[in-house]
Structure 1
Amino acid sequence: MAEQEEDFSALPLPDRFAHKNWKVRKEAYEAAAKEFDSAQSEADPVVRQFILDPGLWKAAVADSNVAAQQEALGSLISFLNIAGPQGCTRTRNLTIVPIVEKGLAATRPVAKQKALEALLLYIELDKADPVIEELLPLLAHKQPKIIAATLAALREIYHAYGCKTVEPKPTLKALPKIYGHADKNVRAEGQNLTVELYRWLREAMKPLFWNDLKPVQQTDLEKLFEKVKDEPAPKQERLLRSQQAIKEAAPVAEAEEDDDGVIAYDDEAEIDLEPEYVAVDVLAKMPKDLFERLASSKWKDRKEALDDLHTAINHPKIADGQYSDLLAALAKCMKDANIAVVTVAAGCIEIIANGLKKSFAKYRGTVMGPMMERLKEKKQSVTDAIGAALDAVFAATNGYGDCLEEMLEFLKHKNPQVKLESTRFLIRTLCTTRDPPAPPELKLMVDGATKLLTESAAPQREAGAEVLGTLWKIMGDRVMNPHLEPLDEIRKTKIKEYQEKAEVKAKYKPKPAAPPPKAAPPAQKRVAGGKKPAAAAKKASAPVRAPSPFDDDPPPLAARPSTRPAQPKLAKPGTGLRPPGGLRKPQAVPGPYSQAAQASPVRRLVSPTEDAAPIPQPKLSSLGPGRGLAGRPLGKPAPQRAESPPPDSPPYRGSGLSHLSSAERAELDELRVEVERLRRENEHIRQEKGKISSQIHELTNQNAQLIEDHTRDVLSIKAKETQLVRARSDEEEARQQVAHQQREIDRLKRELSRQVRASSPAPMDVIEHIYNDEGRNNNSNSNNNNNGGFTSSYTQQSQSRTARSSRSYVTSPTDSIVGGGGGGGDRGNNNGYGPPSYAPPAHQASSPRRGLQGPDGEISRAITTGSVGVGSAQGGAQSGQVGGGPESWKRAAEVTQNLKARIEMMKAKQGLSRPH
């Protein structure tokens, strides 16, 4: 086994990267990371090998073994740190997708962190656009966890580099599809990414995707935006290598470093979020008769013309053209007596200003004055429309240089409403402009706002204080303190409140002062030990002096005094030639302490700043011996400097540090090394702080999500409990109603039984009377006796079963009566008990429901007969006579019908239903 391991380690790294054993691959990744960390540059053979073969990294970062893949990601990070931009550009198109699919979606937190660091390194080494182009297609992946991991990576990228470095447009356009995804984790990560983008872009990002969202999604996002709306503006926490180079070369060129060492860019204009629109030629779409309709005497015609114009020009980008006549007509509409016409005209001006952008500046003077004059309108909708149009006009101009004087004139307007709305317009421009006012413009604004502080109306005083507070926020304390010094403390306190609440986009930066002109070098003085400091004036700044006959190269003609005649060219020293006119006598060059120096004519022509500088000695060393006095100088030679720095020492050449000793220079070098070390430590601390801040932000979001989920669950439980209590209350109420109705039904049944018993006397006498009456009419004693016996026995049977059949009688009186009547007729026909003229229908005689079959049918007929008899008896008693024969049966039938109707009425009144 040991020999096998030695064989694996002896293999080249590319072969071990592609080995089938995951342990061998894992060891290869670890060994490669060590090699990369110890490499000196990207030209190292190991690094160069992987640069030339980038396909090795594609398989490494997508390793099937999670432990080996984690080490592969660490090795890739080490490789990118040493390989630089070349290694980045050659590998990123092969590794980014596997990093997301295998690294960011891994289950190990360490692997996730390394995968994210690799993506951030790819951006840091070059630029962000290629990385974003590789990540965005993964948002359409079929696995939701890959989409969620990609969204989390995008959020970290924007959090680290900001929207100024990473283009936000492509990501914003892809957000609506994310909110339509079925997986809740994908939607949650989409919300986190949207909130991070909102921290950088605020409301400016909404036009790119907001209208594609559903209202409920917009509502949820607005709630999330409220949580971060009051946070300070985010700052870029991580720099590209190009930005790092710029910072090292000129740290204050475009960025300012705060106390935490984070780079904060003040200029937000470079973040272009405006969608790309095609310019439309609206002049061709305008109504042909527009100006004639605008001149109509009817306001409805004028408004309809403006409505048609509004529809024709309503485009986000308008092609440049000749709009002078149109804007002059719209400016005239500002004086219209109808406020509807004024409102629509202001909307048209706003559209044209937004569509033309900076091309609208030449029309500003045509419309701005009439619009500000119409601010006297008291209806808020009109002033809002004019204010929006004024804001669009100001955005299309070149700052305050074009319109400040006109704005300040309206701050002095005699109409208080115009004065107040003009001040609010000035406040809005201060909050939205990106260019701070120049010092002369600032002075005019401060004077106008200070006069407003003395107004009698409170809103105007508040507006003036807000102007000063906004200017204070833009310009800073140093610039504004002299202007605020004359104000009392109460007004300063109010202005300070507005300064704290103001939200501005501009920030004043004083221009760096021009470097002072280089002064002449100071006079050289002797130091202890007889040594002179090395200080020689540059030729460009050296004063003009008279040429010396011993100069090798005389000064140019431009440097010679014009009043002095040209000197003849003398022979160079050491050549043995004499000048014409006799023996050449070298002129003594006096030293700084020589008396001859005071009487030298050359000395008088030298600048006073050169009094202490020694004149260069003539080169007389080439004179041969025997020259006598002409062969040696008369002045004392200047001593040589022993410790002058070498001319090729770059740290001190021309830096003003040439007078330092060797010990001081060594100490200075040590301090520089210490400063560099502290800078590196500070950079490391800043990175750690950024990571901790990112973790805190993530944990805060998770905590807020958990709190929201808990609150939602608690509210759901309380809602369920409330529903349960209501259901129990409804159940109890229903039970009480059922019990009440049941008692009422029992009472009605008892009442009905009593009424039926009270209205139904014993049928014996009536039946006997009827039968006796019939017997007397027929003169049949035998039949009378038989009838009497039958009636008596029948009545006994009826009385014996009355109690048992009372409930049937009560609940179904109609059937019993009808059936009884029929039965009685049938008995009368067969046995002589009823009138022979009555016969029941066939269907009644054969129906078992009518009670005509069996003994029960006999009882029903008996009861019915008794009832009829009772009715007949009562009718006879009321009339005072008893009829016989058919008349008695007629009266009985009428009573029966009356009784049936009465029973039906009682049933209807009590709500009883007829049983089936």
Structure 2
Amino acid sequence: MAEGEEDFSSLPLPDRFAHKNWKVRKEGYEDAKAQFEKSPDESDPVFTPFLQDPGLWKGAVADSNVAAQVEGLGSYCAFLKFGGVQACTRTRPHTIGPIAEKGLPCARPAGKASAQEALLLCVELDTADPVLEDLLPVLSHKVPKTIAGALAALTTLYHNFGCKIVDPKPTLKALPKVFGHADKNVRAEAQNLTVELYRWLREAIKPLFWADLKPVQQQDLEKLFENVKQDAPPKQERFTRAQQDAMATASASPGAGDGGDDQGGEEYAEEEAEEVDVFDLAEPVDVMPKIPKDLHDQLGSSKWKDRKEALDALYTAINVPRIKDGPYDEIVRALAKCMKDANIAVVTVAANCVDLLAKGLRNGFMKYRSTIMAPMLERLKEKKQSVADALGQALDAVFSSTDLSDCLEEILEFLKHKNPQVKQETLKFLIRCLRTTRTVPAKPDIKAIADAGTKAMTESTEALRSGGAEILGTLMKILGERAMNPYLDGLDEIRKTKIKGYFETAEVKAKDRPKPIVAPPKPAAPAGRKVAPGKKPALGMKKPAPAAAAPPPVEEAPAKPAARAIPSKLGKPGLAPTGAGLKLQRKLGGPGGIASPQRRVVSPPTEEAAPPPAAPKFGLGRGLAGRPITKPAAPAEPAPAPAAPAVSAMSAADRAELEELRAEKERFIRTIEDLKTERSKFNSQITELQNQNAQLIEDHTRDVLSIKAKETQLVRARSDAEAAEQNVQKQQREIERLKRELARALRASAMSPPNAGSEAGSLGIPDSTSIYQEPASNGHVARSGLHLGSRFESTRPRSYASASPSEEKENNGLESPGGLGSRDAGLGLGRRKLSPTYGLSGIASPTRSSRNSAYGTEDEGPPRSIEPAENWKRAAEVTSQLKARIEQMKARQGLSRPPAQR
């Protein structure tokens, strides 16, 4: 076994990485890590095999043995840390995927931490985009544990580097899918990732994925967001190599002073920690196809409603976070024309369209500024506040796409307008421009602004005077009190106090102009020439008299030209006295580098008072110019004479270089501030859209409730209809029962003795003896009686539909003791104002008198006999009359139905 182990240890590292025995692989990973940590630099030969065959790391980071995998991940981290950028770029395509699938879900915490550290190192050494490209596809993996590990790694990346280094857009697009995963651990990690992104982006994350989440998930995230809103803005905790180099350069810049390293790093971190604008996250949208084709025709209509509808359609089309650049000249000219419209509603909507267009195009709107700004400033004469607010917001958007120097000329022109309202609103606009500008105005612009503010303070209106004081106070905040003193000369103390008050409360975004480098320590160049006497103690010479003083100038003479020759190679001869020149000379190690520290050490000006050494020093300095050689008569005075121009030349060149660096830095800061301002404006637009969405949801809810109410009414109506149908069926069954009873009664009366005729007569029915006197006609009589009974029964439904027992009693006229011949009884029709002429007792005669004469009363005895044919005719007549009266009653009481329903 010992011999086998020696053979394994003697194998090359690549062979041990690919060995079948996991113990051999594990030991190989450990040895490789130790060698990487001991390597002197990135070019050490230990890195060469792994750079030539980067596929070795694929098996190391995804080793089948867990113990070996942990060591393999640690070894890969050491390889990235000490191997540099080349180690990352060559191995990254082979390792990110296996790390995401095998390393991040590792069961051992050490392995998981090493996997995350490897991803962080890949981002630190190069860029984050390749890491995201290989890590995001893992979110579609079949194993939930792998997806959760990838989400946790993304959270770590954003937490350490922020959203400016790691692009949040592709991650935000993938969030809805993981929020819909069935595994709760995956959803929990998705929530953690979303909260981390919210720390950096705030409300800017919502437009990209918020609508795809369920309402419950939105509520849960809102609760988590509340805990983060109160926290301070996050700062980048880990920096890329490029950032580290930039921070090192910033800390080594001239004038950094003590603590320059820390200060430069903090400033860089603050700049990097700024929030990402939603404009950067949004994709440009081509709005030209959405703009109505007849826009210009509608805007030329004589009806203001048509013009407003056209502008509303344009507003809807361009209401997107980011607009793709295109030819919008005609639209801008049409909007400029709308600023002169007589209807204020049209002007307001046009201003809103300008606002959206300027915010959506950003710098692309700069070319349209000259077309739209003047008409908007002219329209500021409108006194209605809503119109003024819309115009002011649009002007701010236009200004954000340009800079102060471009807009200042037109602003100053309208400050001279004859309308006080235009002056006042233009003053407010200029104040807002000074507050939001990222660059310090140029000197001519400063003078023009200060003159305008001073003139405004002499106006007769208090609002204009206050506006002028606020302009000067805001300008003082940008430049500083000392720089504003020349522009405040001639103002009384009251006005100065007012300006100071605005100065203390003003908030500006422009950085104060850096102070120029003070020249007094630099003019020590003549003293630097006298460094030779100070150099003697360093060489061990104890200040000899003139004899020892002569050699040092001979040594110093070539040193001075060397000090000036170093900057000349860089093309900037004046950099030698500055901090950058000194550091450069030190790095080069030339004679100037030796002389420069001695200039800083030697400070006594008393040594300059020795004129004798100055003369030979000047005479021997042939490396300078030929002019000093022609003036040996005055050796002491020419020495400072050429030095002064040299110092002034060097300081001027230094200032020029610093001005260039300042301008570049200011442009960079202005770009960052532009992005921040646009982000806040888009956030406000998002809030407005959310409010509109809430209103639409409320309207939809109201409509749904109304529909449900209508459905409830319909259900009730159907139930009422079913109840009525059941009642009708019940009445029909009762009618059938009464028909059967009537038929039974008629059959009984047909079989009754002759004395029943009187009773029938009393009921108003023809005498049974006369009706049924013929046996052969009994069947016909029975059928006639049944037919009459059916006609009689047709009046029964009304009696059962009556609401009181009295009506029911009246309807049962057959059982009344008075018979059916009385006016108020027959068939229940008496109380319905039925004429006595058509009572049931009137079957024998159409009139009451004839009925009495034909039938008489009970005291008159039995009625006279009637012929059978006549009886049948009378029965048919009475039946038709009864049918007609029944139909009339139904019609009056609303019980009649159309024949199709009956």
**Per the shorter chain, which TM-score range?**
0.5 to 0.7
User: 2:530 aligned with 1:522, yes or no?
Assistant: yes
Matching residue's letter, 1:40: P
Distance 2:495 2:116 in 1: 55
User: Is 1:375 the counterpart of 2:380 in the alignment?
Assistant: yes
Q: 1:514-549, CA deviations, whole angstroms, 9 ceiling, x for partnerless residues?
A: 76355112372676972469675445868999999x
**1:127 counterpart = 2:127:** yes
SS at match of 1:264: helix
**Taking structure 1 as reference, are residues 52 and 318 closer, same or farther at Cα in structure 2, changes over 3 Å only?**
closer
Partner of 1:100 in structure 2?
100
Call closer, same or farther: CA 1:473–1:45 in 2, change over 3 Å: same
State the SS of the aligned residue for 2:75.
helix
List aligned pairs for 1:486-505, cutoff 5 A.
499=507, 504=509
Equivalent residue, structure 2, for 1:150: 150
Q: Contact between 1:63 and 1:69, CA under 8 Å: does it hold in 2? A: yes
Deviation of 1:68 after TM superposition, in Å, equals 3.5
TM-fit CA distance, 1:133:
2.5
Tell me if structure 2 keeps the 8 A contact 1:287–1:309.
no
1:418 maps to what in 2?
Answer: 422
- The separation in 2 between residues aligned to 1:343 and 1:218, in whole angstroms, is 38
Aligned residue for 2:636? Answer: 607
For residues 716-767 of structure 1, give each alpha carbon's deviation from its aligned partner in whole angstroms, at most 9, with x where no partner exists.
Answer: xxxxxxxxxxxxxxxxxxxxxxxxxxxxxxxxxxxxxxxxxxxxxxxxxxxx
1:367-425 Cα offsets, whole Å, 9 max, x none, are 4233112112234553344334423432343x222222543554576655434533443
Assess if the C-alpha contact under 8 Å between 1:29 and 1:72 holds in 2: yes
Identity %, equivalent residues: 50
Distance in 1 between the 2:813 and 2:299 partners?
99
Deviations 1:449-474 (A, max 9, x none): 78889999998799789878876886
1:46 and 1:507 map into 2 onto residues whose CA distance is: 50
Quote the offset at 1:89 in angstroms.
Answer: 1.5
Matching residue of 2:717: none
Give, in angstroms, the shift of residue 264 of structure 1.
2.1
Q: TM-score under structure 2 normalisation?
A: 0.53
2:392 match: 387
CA apart distance, 1:17: 3.6
Deviation at 1:120, TM superposition (A): 0.8
Residue 341 (structure 2) aligned to one of 333, 336, 352: 336
Cα deviations across residues 178-223 of structure 1 (Å, max 9, x unaligned)? 667676765665565455455545677777x369757969976788
**Match in the other structure for 1:911:** none
Q: Are the aligned partners of 2:333 and 2:371 in contact in 1 as well (CA < 8 Å)?
A: yes
Find out whether 1:401 has 2:413 as its counterpart: no
Q: Deviations over 1:823-881 (max 9, x none)?
A: 777788889899997989999xxxxxxxxxxxxxxxxxxxxxxx999854899999996
1:316 equivalenced with 2:323 (yes/no): yes
Secondary structure of residue in 2 paired with 1:266 = helix
Structure 1 pair 28–479 and aligned structure 2 pair: CA distance change class (3 A): farther
Does the 8 A contact of 1:19 with 1:25 survive in 2?
yes
Give the secondary-structure state (helix, strand or coil) at the position aligned to 2:542.
coil
CA distance in 2, matches of 1:134, 1:90: 15
Shift of 1:326: 8.3
The 1:366–1:88 alpha-carbon spacing in structure 2 relative to 1, beyond 3 Å, is: closer
Q: Which structure: larger Rg? A: 1
TM-superposed deviation, 1:93: 0.7
1:117 Cα offset (Å): 1.2
Distance 2:217 2:458 in 1: 45
- For 1:418, give the aligned amino acid: V
What amino acid is the match of 1:316? I
Instruction: Please give the secondary structure, in 2, of the residue aligned with 1:159.
Output: helix
* Aligned equivalents of 2:317, 2:749: Cα separation in 1: 103
| Aligned residue number for residue 665 of structure 2 | none
**Corresponding residue for residue 729 of structure 1:** none
Could you tell me how far 1:146 is from its partner in structure 2? 3.8
Residue 558 of structure 1: which of 623, 626, 630 is its match? 626
- Deviation, 1:448, is 6.1
SS at structure 1 position matched to 2:251: coil
Aligned-residue offset at 1:119: 0.5
Contact 1:50 1:56 in 2 (8 A): yes
CA distance in 1, matches of 2:371, 2:750: 119
Question: 1:184–1:301: structure 2 CA closer, same or farther, 3 Å change rule?
Answer: same
Q: CA–CA distance in 2 between the matches of 1:125 and 1:225?
A: 32
1:136 Cα offset (Å): 3.2
5 Å-filtered alignment, 1:571-590, equals none
**Structure 1 position 14, deviation (Å):** 4.0
Q: Residues of 2 paired with 1:457 and 1:226: CA distance?
A: 46
Q: CA RMSD in A?
A: 6.4
Larger deviation, residues 429-438 vs 216-225: 216-225
**1:558 alignment partner AA:** G
Measure the CA separation in 2 of the matches of 1:450 and 1:225: 48
User: Which fold has the larger relative contact order, with Cα–Cα distance below 8 Å and residues 6 or more apart in sequence?
Assistant: 2
Q: Does 1:513 align with 2:517?
A: yes
In the TM superposition, residue 118 of structure 1 has moved relative to its aligned partner by 0.9
Unaligned runs of 5+ residues in structure 2 are 562-610, 641-732, 758-767, 773-780, 788-811, 826-855, 865-885, 887-902
Superposition map of 1:818-897 within 5 A:
871-872=816-817
Correspondence for 1:89: 89
CA distance, structure 2, for counterparts of residue 447 and residue 143 of structure 1: 71
What amino acid maps onto 2:636 in structure 1? S
- Cα distance, 1:359 vs structure 2: 7.0
CA distance, structure 1, for counterparts of residue 478 and residue 268 of structure 2: 20
Q: Distance in 2 between matches of 1:360 and 1:449?
A: 29
2:239 aligns with 239
| Residues 197 and 341 of structure 1, relative CA distance in 2, 3 Å threshold | same
CA 1:362/1:417 → structure 2, altered by over 3 Å: closer, same or farther? same
CA contact (8 A) 1:357 1:395 kept: yes
On the 8 A contact 1:287/1:308 being kept in 2, the answer is no
**1:74 partner letter:** G
| Match 1:429 to one of 411, 433, 457 | 433
Residue identity matched to 2:94: L
Match for residue 73 of structure 1? 73
Alpha carbons 2:173, 2:209 under 8 Å: kept: no
- Structure 2 counterpart of 1:741: none
How far apart in 2 are the matches of 1:101 and 1:215? 29
Aligned CA distance change for structure 1 residues 332 and 136 (closer, same or farther; 3 Å):
same
Whether the 8 Å CA contact 1:876–1:883 is kept in 2: the answer is no
Q: Against the structure 1 CA distance between its residues 544 and 227, is the aligned structure 2 distance closer, same or farther, given a 3 Å change threshold?
A: farther
Look up the equivalent residue of 2:626 and give its one-letter code: A
The residue type paired with residue 430 of structure 2 is L
Superposition map of 1:699-714 within 5 A = none
Question: Relative to structure 2, which stretch is displaced further, 143-152 or 530-539?
Answer: 530-539
Verify the 8 A CA contact 1:545 1:606 in the aligned structure 2: no
Deviations 1:610-667 (A, max 9, x none): 89xxxxxxxxxxxxxxxxxxxxxxxxxxxxxxxxxxxxxxxxxxxxxxxxxxxxxxxx
Distance change >3 Å, CA 460–CA 278, structure 1 → 2: same
CA displacement, residues 129-151 of structure 1 (integer Å, 9 cap, x when unaligned):
32223223334444455444434
Distance 2:625 2:516 in 1: 39
Q: What is the CA–CA distance in structure 2 between the aligned matches of 1:328 and 1:828, rounded to whole Å?
A: 105
**Contact between 2:440 and 2:478, CA under 8 Å: does it hold in 1?**
yes
> Are residues 83 and 143 of structure 1, via their aligned partners in 2, closer, same or farther at CA, if it must alter by over 3 Å?
same
The aligned residue for residue 737 of structure 1 is none
Q: Check the 8 A contact 1:318/1:352 in 2, yes or no.
A: no
Match of 1:617 in 2: none
Change (3 A) 1:818 1:68: same
Residue number in structure 1 paired with 2:49: 49
Shift of 1:124: 1.3
Amino acid corresponding to residue 41 of structure 1 in structure 2: D
Query: In structure 1, what is the Cα distance between the partners aligned to 2:142 and 2:469?
Result: 58
Give the structure with the higher percent helix. Answer: 2
Closer/same/farther in 2, CA of residues 558 and 15 from structure 1, 3 Å limit: closer
Please say if 1:136 is aligned against 2:136: yes
Shift in Å, 1:155: 3.5
